[in-house]
Amino acid sequence: MTEPAAPLPAPRLGEPFLLTPGPLTTDFATKEAMLRDWGSWDSDFRAMTRTLCDRLLVLAGDRAGEYACVPMQGSGSFAVEAMLGSLVPKDGKVLVLANGAYGLRAAETLRYLGRAHTVIDKGDYLPPRGAEVAAALDADPAITHVVAIHCETSSGILNPLAEIAEAVHVRGRKLLIDSMSAFGAIPLDVGEIPCAALVSSANKCIEGVPGFGFVIARRDALEAAQGNSHSLALDLHAQWAYMEKTGQWRYTPPTHAVAAFLKALEIHAAEGGVAGRGARYARNRDVMVAGMRGLGFETLLDDRWLSPIIVTFFCPADPAFVFQTFYDLMKARGFIIYPGKLTVVDSFRIGVIGRMDEHVMARVVQAAADALAEMGVESAAPPAAALAERAKLAA
């Protein structure tokens, strides 16, 4: 991995940078790849689907051919629902490890599906640890599956997947990983992190456009999934079996999003794959976080838990700070930021994924400095309540 020679080009047509965890800023070539039409049954498009699945299996580290990749139309949540509804049998029981909105959404999905489940809810951002997962599994032999969120995008925390996977594996249970906002930038090798399945989507770290998700699942888990699904359209087994037989998606595929994704995968490979992409995102985070701290902002998480995906900052205590005004001033400077998702204190988030580099991140910090000055904010320091909240992490 070498340093990028020149800054990445800015998005064309005066688009703002999306400092959001998907949809995100894509390469112009990725957008351009959508400028033609494909027949969904045609051999050209079937070959595109094949390539897409093969490349994703390589990224996931499936050297033994034990896994299959099953794309699913819709946003990432559709793929999560397909995974849960298909791979968890009707008499299964799921332990959900929640520390934010996406873990809670998985539990809510299971409630809709009528699957027995129990939740370890760590609140807004505390990480679920291997030891507590082990204790929960030992206490309840009925649990068949565990759902873990790789990067919990609502706080930006990078959860300790390896210790969780270890606790699940040695107890003979099956792990289902929501790696939506991490896959492609943070290593997740199925040879090292044993799992029944992982799920991600087109518009996160691979830097494609929205339109589909994909489940990378053990073939034996897919084989055993026949008849489990509550839903015709979200039946992962049926989608897999049909694709194996015909090379086609069962129902209308998002052809243009698939074409864009293949271009995005080429760009991903040219950047050095997961390692190269992860290194750029980590530099983005480091430059942005250092700059924001220099302005007096404080992060919710300490460095150990900060993902190279998205970072949560506390809103300043200064009464001159109004989030909506800050948002508008950042947008006027070409940057779309993201409101926070903490329940206890006010916060906002800045994503560092998408087609942008450390030079852009330096401009983000400058834009934030200008916005604070324009609002008349003297200090970006958070309120005492925020720091008290954060002290819980250290405890």
Ligand X SMILES: *Cc1c(COP(=O)(O)O)cnc(C)c1O
| Cα(7)–Cα(359) distance, integer angstroms | 6
Torsion sign across C-alpha atoms 294, 338, 395, 169? negative
Residue 81 engages ligand X in binding (rule: CB under 6 A): no
| Cα(40)–Cα(49) distance, integer angstroms | 10
Residue 86 engages ligand X in binding (rule: CB under 6 A): no
Residue 22 engages ligand X in binding (rule: CB under 6 A): yes
Considering only 62, 178, 207, 357, the residue that binds ligand X (CB under 6 A) is: 178
Residue 82 engages ligand X in binding (rule: CB under 6 A): no
Q: Of the two residues 210 and 291, which places its CB atom closer to ligand X in the complex?
A: 210
In the bound complex, what is the minimum distance in angstroms from residue 382's beta carbon to ligand X?
24
Bridge partners, 71 (sequence order): 214
Q: Of the two residues 84 and 295, which places its CB atom closer to ligand X in the complex?
A: 84
In the bound complex, what is the minimum distance in angstroms from residue 282's beta carbon to ligand X?
18
Q: Contact, 234 vs 97, CB < 8 A?
A: no
- Which range, of 70-78, 109-117, 241-249, 363-371, touches ligand X by CB under 6 A? 70-78
Considering only 20, 181, 229, 307, the residue that binds ligand X (CB under 6 A) is: 181
- Which range, of 71-79, 114-122, 267-275, 339-347, touches ligand X by CB under 6 A? 71-79
142-171 binders of ligand X (CB under 6 A): 149, 153
Considering only 68, 147, 180, 257, the residue that binds ligand X (CB under 6 A) is: 180
| Cα(132)–Cα(122) distance, integer angstroms | 11
Q: Count the site residues for ligand X by CB under 6 A.
A: 13
DSSP 235: -
Main-chain phi, psi angles of 292, to 5 degrees: -65, -40
Q: Of the two residues 201 and 347, which places its CB atom closer to ligand X in the complex?
A: 201
CB atoms within 10 A of CB 98: 21
Q: Which tokens sit at 68?
A: 């299959």
349 is in an annotated binding site: yes
Considering only 77, 99, 299, 307, the residue that binds ligand X (CB under 6 A) is: 77
Q: Of the two residues 76 and 382, which places its CB atom closer to ligand X in the complex?
A: 76
Considering only 71, 76, 85, 278, the residue that binds ligand X (CB under 6 A) is: 76
- Exposure string over 141-161, b if 16+ CB within 10 A, otherwise e: eebbbbbbbbbbbbbbbbbbb
Binding-residue pattern over the window 223 to 262 for ligand X, x denoting contact by CB under 6 A: ----------------------------------------
| Cα(57)–Cα(175) distance, integer angstroms | 18
Q: What is the CA radius of gyration of the chain?
A: 21
Torsion sign across C-alpha atoms 36, 40, 41, 43? positive
Main-chain phi, psi angles of 206, to 5 degrees: -80, -15
Residue partners of 171: CB distance under 8 A and separation at least 6: 134, 137, 138
Residue 20 engages ligand X in binding (rule: CB under 6 A): no
Residue partners of 139: CB distance under 8 A and separation at least 6: none
Nearest-CB residue for ligand X: 76
Residue 200 engages ligand X in binding (rule: CB under 6 A): no
88-107 binders of ligand X (CB under 6 A): 102
Residue 201 engages ligand X in binding (rule: CB under 6 A): yes
In the bound complex, what is the minimum distance in angstroms from residue 185's beta carbon to ligand X?
12
Q: Which tokens sit at 165?
A: 């996977």
C-alpha 244: how far from its chain's center? 27
Residue 75 engages ligand X in binding (rule: CB under 6 A): yes
- Provide the pairing of β-strand 116-121 with 145-149: unpaired
Write out the residues near ligand X by the rule CB under 6 A: 21-22, 75-77, 80, 102, 149, 153, 178, 180-181, 201
**Which residue ranges are tagged as binding site for substrate?**
349
